Amino acid sequence: MTNVDGRAPRRVGIIGAGAGGICTGIRLLERGVDWFTMFERAPGVGGTWFHNTYPGLACDIPSALYSFSFEPKCDWSRPYGTQAEICDYLEHCVARYGLRPHLRLGTAVTAARWDDDAMVWRVTTEGPEPGRTDEHELDVLVAGVGMFGDLHIPEIPGLDEFTGTMFHSARWNHDHDLARERVAVIGSAGSAVQFVPEIAPLVEQLHVFQRSPEWVMPKEDDPYTAEQLEAFRTRPEVLTAMRREIFERIDPNLTFSNPARRSEMEGLCRQNLALVEDPELRAKLTPDFPHGCKRPLIANDWYPTFNRDNVELVTDPIERIAPDRVVTVDGTHRPVDTIILATGFQTTRFLSTIEVTGRGGTRLADAWRDGAQAYLGIVTAGFPNLFMLYGPNTNNGSIIFMIEQQVGYTMRQIARLDDEGLAWIDVRPEVMATYNEAIQRDLDGVEVWNASCNNYYRGPSGRIVTQWPHSMSEYEARCAAPDDDAYEMWPAQAVPVD
């Protein structure tokens, strides 16, 4: 395949071999584009599902909707897929669609610089051999970095002076035996809700340090029967109908705008809370903000865990970490052998976790100083031929569905480069600004996200930079809409003017 001006095929670089990178690679091959490289810093594929391996890890979107529409998985063991099953599925996609030759595992992208004169991206990588650094010249860059890459380490005095074992939940230390240990878990949100019930029976004493409580709904997750699995395997229409039913149930409720539905969800959470036997403890676990203000959580065993004699919920703030203990502001000293940080990720940085430089030497980190923003969450003005997956303001619903729309949009723009003989396209600044002003107005209208709670949605400026304020269907429609006039462009044979 050659470009319209007779040049060699577009050289495409993909950062990351998670769901976004894998989907991009599959769609490129379908278009007949095989000159692409997938750079993945990990030794395996799967992105966040490869790195996160803590006990009890599972998806919080029903499994039937957590696979690509063109490659449905029919053998999920239960309604919510486990980490191992999701990784196996993504590995399956890599093998089935022939992506293995394009993978560069153990190869981290450390910088990407747009060359104004040559009109290419110069991408620097490290690995896989220790000390190895390479530069790659690419025409198009697709970043599947997403939100859940860089860990958030809390700034607690004395944290680096702890002499016991300490690790982040997203980098679980499977070589360390927690049996009969005194363990502190700092954080009580998404990961803690899943792994705390798993480790509680093993340890001598477990202290869970909670900054603020979470709404946790019951999880309808009974394993599928052999008969159900056989129906999924032999009758594709059964799985298709289930996928459609889940989509239609989730899609209208993504912004919690229906008071009756929100009240119903909060009622289910309160039923779940009733499993906590001690009324004082139950009160400490009850949020004072509406359901949906934070990321909704689901679990059946989180609340019963606090009925155990060896589990303590600590709501007093941590004052400092001593070499062998955690000290709270009320003066209580709790000796511990291991600290597990369940403190999440730097969710608002997106691609700026890498040193990216665009037209005229503009750094992405500087362009996003007031918060990450992008047109459709995919392209940012000043960074030609750069497409982001799971970018700013695209987090909601099934990210697999959202990624498919983003990859489809990206494929359309790459095709445009070839069909029109363009060296580059770059979204117009005024288009991006108008789009993001509208998104922020829409976000201001989502009542629950503007209630008083500590969520991961806001950047340092206070703007919500992670969430999509509409339905998945609305995002699909916007990505499919023609928008050629949203872009600046440069013909492939033209010489840039200084």
Mean pLDDT of 103-109: 97
Average pLDDT of the chain?
Answer: 93
Q: Under a CB-based contact definition with an 8 Å cutoff, are residues 97 and 26 in contact?
A: yes
Q: pTM of the prediction?
A: 0.94
- pLDDT at site 264: 94
pLDDT tens per residue, range 128-178: 999 999 999 999 999 998 777 788 899 999 999 999 999 999 999 999 999
CA gap 255, 474 in Å, rounded? 12
DSSP string, 284-304: HTS-SS-TTSS--EE-SSHHH
Q: What's the confidence (pLDDT) of residue 2?
A: 43
pLDDT band at 498 (very low <50, low <70, confident <90, very high): very low
pLDDT tens column, 251-309: 999 999 899 999 999 999 999 999 999 999 999 999 999 999 998 899 999 999 999 99
Query: What are the structure tokens assigned to 417, written together?
Result: 């480069």
Give 341's pLDDT tier (boundaries 50, 70, 90): very high
pLDDT tier at 1, thresholds 50, 70, 90:
very low
pLDDT for res 497: 45
Q: Which residues contact 446 (CB under 8 A, 6 or more apart)?
A: 255, 256, 257, 467, 469
Which of 52, 191, 148 lies closest to 346 in space, CA to CA?
148
Q: Is a pLDDT exceeding 50 seen at residue 398?
A: yes
The region that residue 200 occupies, defined by phi over 0 for left and psi between -120 and 50 for alpha, beta otherwise, is: alpha
Mean pLDDT of 423-451: 96
Residues 439-471: tens digit of each pLDDT: 999 999 999 999 888 778 888 888 899 999 999
Quote the pLDDT of residue 494.
56
Least confident of 112-126, 347-361, 376-390, 409-423: 347-361
- Average of pLDDT values for 303-327? 97
Q: Look up residue 332 and give its DSSP letter.
A: -
Q: Encoding tokens for residue 115? A: 């060359």
pLDDT surpassing 50 at residue 4: no
For 257, the enclosing helix (H) or strand (E) is none
pLDDT at 3: 45
